[in-house]
Amino acid sequence: MIIVRNLSKQLVDGTEILSKISFQADRGELIAVVGGSGSGKTTLLKCVALKDKWTEGQLIYNGTDLTTPKWTDRIKLRKEWAFLDEKPMMNPNLSALKVVLGGRFFYTPLWRKLTGTVSTDEHVLGMDYLEKVGLLDKAHEKASKLSGGESQRVAIARALAQGAKVIVADEPIKGLDPQSADRVMQDFKSLCQRQELVAICSMQNLDLAERFATRIWGLARGRIVLDIPARRLTQYEKNLIFQS
């Protein structure tokens, strides 16, 4: 589904942030990207999500080369790819349901956008997506009243409403309490399995990566030094990833 070949990124002064990264990510995978501070995790995710440019390399999605994407490719990607920040951006005065329905922008008639009205079908669809992430009871709660974990789950529901096939998330559980972090990761894992999504998440919590991911990438000094099916890592593997 996603193929990356020899992706590299350098700063103007020649400092190498990413070096010759190659991988293939397939439907149903929840990939945890782990590594120490400065390893290149956020930069890698932003490059993969086309939020940042890279110096060289190739990115292919479903057979389409996105190394230099056309405007039609970018429109398609805005529908099928979602990038989730560490702290999701949402209007604090909107209800959770309205935030989710914001993901339906490309599917909403212009007159509904202008009037702010929601059709019955769209309302039901939004509620369905909230139910998928266990927040049906928060549908009419303002975004400003949601906890950090609830906000992340609403952001996931919005991505699903958008029609996302690929979700790239930068530290989606950073700062969350253990119960909320577990729930967010469980949602990711279940949705990847049920809807054959691809989710790529950078994570600091190695224990949650081992428990919930289907695959672990260890990043060190801008390189993928470990790419294995998720399991408990050995001390040697941890040292390999978190080397100074």
The per-residue DSSP string of 198-210 comes to: EEEEEES-HHHHH
pLDDT confidence tier of residue 59, bands split at 50, 70 and 90: very high
The full set of domain ranges for the chain reads 2-241
Task: Classify 106 as helix, strand or coil.
Answer: helix
Quick: pLDDT tens for 221-236: 999 999 999 999 999 9
31-57: average pLDDT = 92
Is 143 in contact with 174 (CB distance < 8 Å)?
Answer: no
pTM for this predicted structure:
0.87
Residue carrying the six token digits 């501070």 = 37
For the chain, what percent of residues have pLDDT higher than 70? 94
Q: Chain-wide mean pLDDT for the chain?
A: 89
Q: What is the pLDDT of residue 77?
A: 80
Average pLDDT (236-240) is 94
Tokens coding 212: 């919930």
For residues 122 and 139, the answer to whether their CB atoms sit within 8 Å is no
**Residue 62 DSSP class:** T
Left if phi > 0, otherwise alpha if psi is -120 to 50, otherwise beta: which for 224?
beta
pLDDT digits (tens, 9 = 90+) for 101-142: 988 776 565 545 555 666 788 888 889 989 988 899 999 999
Nearest to 165 by CA among 96, 62, 68: 62
Q: How far apart are CA 228 and CA 127, in angstroms?
A: 36
Cβ count within 10 A of residue 203: 25
Residue 244 has pLDDT above 60, yes or no: no
pLDDT of residue 15: 87
Compute the distance between CA of residue 43 and CA of residue 35 in angstroms, rounded to an integer: 12
For domain 2-241, which CATH number applies: 3.30.470.10, 3.40.50.10420, 3.40.190.10, 3.40.50.300? 3.40.50.300
Question: What is the maximal distance between C-alpha atoms in the chain?
Answer: 59
